[in-house]
Structure 1
Amino acid sequence: MAGVTNAAFRALCREQGGGLYVSEMITTRGLAERNPKTLAMIRFQPGETPRSVQLYGVDPDVVGKAVRIIAEEGLADHVDLNFGCPVPKVTRRGGGSALPYKRPLLRRILRAAVAGAGTLPVTMKMRKGIDDDHLTYLDAGRIAVQEGLSAIALHGRTAVQHYGGTADWDAIARLKEAVPEIPVLGNGDIWSAEDAIRMTRRTGCDGVVVGRGCLGRPWLFRDLDNAFRGRAERARPSLGEVGATMARHAELLVECFGSETHGVLDFRKHVGWYLKGFEVGAGLRRDLATAGSLDELRDHLARLPSGQPWPGEAADGPRGKSGVRERVHLPDGWLDDPGDAEISRDAELDTSGG
């Protein structure tokens, strides 16, 4: 998730439980051209393993070059290709969740990525399609198998759904049936460990991918670890424990960015996610979300009623982006011919982060 899954947040989540923690979305053009911002985002903490990089690209040659750089220079242990991003600045160039509609282009990109990766595993994340009239996930899954991908993750929404409505878990089951050769991971509406267990039982998927469900909830991975091991224990932190996690998160961001101002400013967007469901006055919430230094943030965190227990259902459910879009922004004529593999010269973004 752009602006969220940096090295600091990955470290915080990894402390909670096992799993594969993927970087923010990195543009293949930015990596191939060695853009300083992009190179800085491929930043892993000492001991972070496996190192997983998520790439976005639309030009097979550029994608292949970027993946080859990762493999030959030992920058990561796993490459994940993003064909699920629904944001307009990506789809209007034919990237993200728009791209699988062009089946030959998808095939060329996957082939180039696998060839460039050498022994590194390559996976992909995708959506059901552009909308209900332009579903692509079954074709894309079969192409992924044919081109040698190691696994596929399906977000059970179309691009036009964005993050609204309800994820279609039945589509995940259909994909699992269609491509039994490789693992299929399910994504969408996993807000708790119980959601993950329900998804795997209902769909037969081999694992789950968590996105918005971990916003302000890094301990979700501890719950997932326990649930998949058959243990009943679940994290139910008090507000004091949540406050301590918030402070640690901010400190890790400062360390990650090498700047107290940058780290504290970046932390501001996390405040509302951490506090969802708790009874915290508007004034204190505002103070926490406008703190300008670690000391100021710690002072405000000390004002939280630390003994307040976990609020239960009030803390569950959607966080982050939501809502359905009226339409998906696409290049002119994009839907005219799914067999067209041409790309525009300005299709590749040069700035990472989604």
Structure 2
Amino acid sequence: MKIGTFEVWPPVVLAPMAGITNRGFRTLCREQGGGVFVSEMITSRALVERNPPTFQMIAFGDGETPRSIQLYGVDPAVIGRAARMIAEEDLADHIDLNFGCPVPKVTRRGGGAALPYKRNLLRAILAEAVGNAGSLPVTMKMRKGIDDDHLTYLEAGRIAVEEGVAAVALHARTAKQHYGGTADWNAIRRLKQAVPEIPVLGNGDIWSADDALRMVAETGCDGVVVGRGCLGRPWLFRDLDRAFEGSAERTRPVLGEVGAMMLRHAELLCEVIGSESHGLADFRKHVGWYLKGFPAGAESRRALTSVATLAEFAARIAELDPHQPWPDGVDGPRGKSGERAKVLLPHGWLDDPEEMAVPGAGAEDPTSGG
């Protein structure tokens, strides 16, 4: 798969996930397999205002290539300035635009998955991003739409082609679905048929490498985007490497191997954050994902989430049964799930899809990672 000027093999992208895809986690996943590994979401306003925490979030590791930033924004002019800044200051090799975030604090301000409903605003943002990015490829990630009555993905895909976007990724759920229900892979197939000129990547319900192969076979998409499927399973990228090379070999680690991966992940977080106590605190949310399906009791889990030093963490890992086999039937949903009763939107947002007005104050917080 080719995105702009660079080849991507295997055709796999790590989805940006707030609080997850920092440099430490990206390094861990890169150690397992290949692809494109995207930063946490960065707000365009925070970037152009040179917000210090935002610049910490876009620090890339040695040898991390292509360096990929996901950019969020609602104002074409600010997006354009951010794209120019990334290109001129060599901050990244690839810009991905977020039009898929379903969280209420984003959609109620007209951003994320809500924005493609305003087709002219979408077009203006894409034009500014592509026009200011120089030689850097610009891609976009989106959802099917706001809900089943307000689907936007096919028209948004055509606008993306017309404005020079290098590839589009579709999370095959609506914003209303959030992370619940089943992803509509038929929508990925329809999008690929609608925009044959550029690569289309599919996202949603890829819990194993075999799911990825099945998605490509069923939809004709050019590649896959992996999000929640790699939570507590960074070796999924090793399996994806093998799968796209035609190998049937899959990773089924015993608990001792999982523990070693947990320790490596914790070490990387401590290094990136610069503090063992803060790095281990950040790791707490990963413990349940790594141990899903294993008969590790509540006491073991509590012990792993209450340590303050890497030495203590390693000692608690050593107490796990290293020979415990990989549990059957544990590939499946992890992380957020559940459908929303409704999507929060700005007042009157659905009245006129042609309206060009930029969402008002507060639509872009001066911080990133949301």
- TM-score over 0.5 for the alignment? yes
User: Match for residue 205 of structure 1?
Assistant: 221
Q: 2:164 aligns with which of 148, 157, 170?
A: 148
User: Match for residue 70 of structure 1?
Assistant: 86
SS in 1 for 2:36: coil
1:122 aligns with 2:138: yes
Work out the CA distance in 2 between the residues paired with 1:262 and 1:54. 25
Q: 1:328 aligns with which of 343, 348, 361?
A: 343
Work out the CA distance in 1 between the residues paired with 2:185 and 2:307. 40
SS in 1 for 2:95: strand
The alpha-carbon deviation at position 316 of structure 1 amounts to: 1.0
Q: 2:289 aligns with which of 273, 286, 289?
A: 273
1:18 aligns with 2:34: yes
Q: 1:296 aligns with which of 301, 309, 312?
A: 312
Aligned partner letter, 2:341: E
The alpha-carbon deviation at position 216 of structure 1 amounts to: 0.5
Deviations 1:264-302 (A, max 9, x none): 110000000000011101111111122222122111111
SS in 2 for 1:208: strand
Corresponding pairs, count: 353
User: Match for residue 332 of structure 2?
Assistant: 317
The alpha-carbon deviation at position 345 of structure 1 amounts to: 2.9
Work out the CA distance in 2 between the residues paired with 1:350 and 1:88. 17
1:165 aligns with 2:166: no
Work out the CA distance in 2 between the residues paired with 1:339 and 1:345. 20
Work out the CA distance in 1 between the residues paired with 2:322 and 2:123. 53
1:226 aligns with 2:242: yes
User: Match for residue 236 of structure 1?
Assistant: 252
The alpha-carbon deviation at position 346 of structure 1 amounts to: 2.6
Work out the CA distance in 2 between the residues paired with 1:150 and 1:75. 19
Aligned partner letter, 2:321: P
Tell which deviates more after alignment, 225-234 or 343-352: 343-352
The alpha-carbon deviation at position 241 of structure 1 amounts to: 0.3
Aligned partner letter, 1:280: A
The alpha-carbon deviation at position 218 of structure 1 amounts to: 0.4
SS in 2 for 1:21: strand
Gaps in structure 2 of 5+ consecutive residues: 1-16
Gaps in structure 1 of 5+ consecutive residues: none
Taking structure 1 as the reference length, what is the TM-score of the superposition? 0.99
Q: Equivalent pairs: percent with the same residue?
A: 73
SS in 2 for 1:298: helix
Work out the CA distance in 2 between the residues paired with 1:98 and 1:219. 33
